[in-house]
Amino acid sequence: LKKAKKEQSHYFFYDDSSEDSLYTYEMENELHRAIKNKEIVVYYQPQFNMKTGELFGFEALARWRHPKKGLVPPNQFIPLAEDTGLIIPMTELIIDQVCQDYVSWQRSEMNVPSVSINISANHFMKESLVEDLLAAKQTYQIPDDALQIEITESIMMDIENGIEALTQLREAGIKISIDDFGTGYSSLRYIRELPIDFIKIDRSFVNRIDQSDENMIDFIIQLSKLSSVQVVAEGVETKEQINYLLSKGCEVGQGFYYFKPMPTEEVFGLKVG
């Protein structure tokens, strides 16, 4: 058995022949097939103005509708997609799906102000991403300010390249949001100088385990005021959290208190106002 395995090892993408790489190789093949068969689908989590209850927009979140395993969450396939480069065709598929869904919401006269798409840091640095986004916006005639991308702070590490791409997107009417803010390496300078529209307060702070989380929320909100970006809270689960955020001046939020991410069919049935 050991020998057979060794002989096969040249088929493997990874250069060692441990169980791990066998697993990864199969997963990679499967993921490749999943993209081709459109098993990667988009769920949407609504975002609200917590003061008025108005719909602010949706965050698009990837799911793998696996024929055997059921609905697989993104943390179980996004890292592999990033490592193998499959994140590129996968994101193309997601962008396309989001635009199609947006158009069908429009047709049914739903007023959806915006929809935001998560973009992996290493993918962001590829020129093709900006091109893909602009092409999709054009093809589906998505109005200005309706599309948003969410990127994490790690992008700012490579600021010189990032700034050009961000500017290009923004000039084309696509908004920029910094995701999971406060969990990575941030520089105040970057927040001030980068063309950014929103910063998202990470769920770990919204949970408010201790005083330092509250300090962090305060800090992020103050920072947003100084740099005229808008804050969005993620992972809002209780009325108490909502009241706290509102008292601090954060008005937009998303979380299980309102809705979990839902398939596009359910978005049509959403009663908001």
Q: Which is nearer to ligand C2E, 12 or 89 (CB)?
A: 89
The least distance separating ligand C2E from the CB of residue 170, rounded to whole angstroms, comes to 20
Residue closer to ligand C2E, measured from CB, 166 or 236: 236
146-175: contacts with Mg ion (CB under 5 A):
150
The entry of Mg ion, ligand C2E, none that residue 255 binds, CB within 5 to 8 Å by partner kind: ligand C2E
Closest approach, Cβ 19 to ligand C2E, in A, equals: 26
Q: Half-sphere exposure (CA, 13 Å, Cβ side) for 124?
A: 29
Judged by CB under 5 A, which stretch of 110-118, 120-128, 156-164, 207-215 contacts Mg ion?
110-118
Residue whose C-alpha is closest to residue 151's, from 86, 221, 91, 225: 91
- Binding footprint of Mg ion, residue count (CB under 5 A): 7
The binding site for ligand C2E (CB under 6 A) comprises 45, 61-62, 73-75, 78, 94, 118-120, 150, 179-180, 203, 234-237, 254-256, 261
Nearest approach in angstroms of CB 235 to ligand C2E is 4
Q: What is the 3-state secondary structure (H, E, C) of 211-252?
A: HHHHHHHHHHHHHHHHCCCEEEECCCCCHHHHHHHHHHCCCE
Residues with Cβ < 8 Å from 228, sequence gap 6 or more?
none
- The answer to whether 133 and 147 are in contact (CB under 8 A) is yes
Q: How far apart are CA 84 and CA 107, in angstroms?
A: 37
3-state secondary structure at position 107: helix
Answer yes or no whether residue 118 interacts with Mg ion by CB under 5 A: yes
- CB closer to Mg ion out of 74 and 195: 74
The Cβ of residue 128 has, within 10 Å, a number of other Cβ atoms equal to 12
| Residues binding Mg ion (CB under 5 A) | 118, 150, 179-180, 202-203, 234
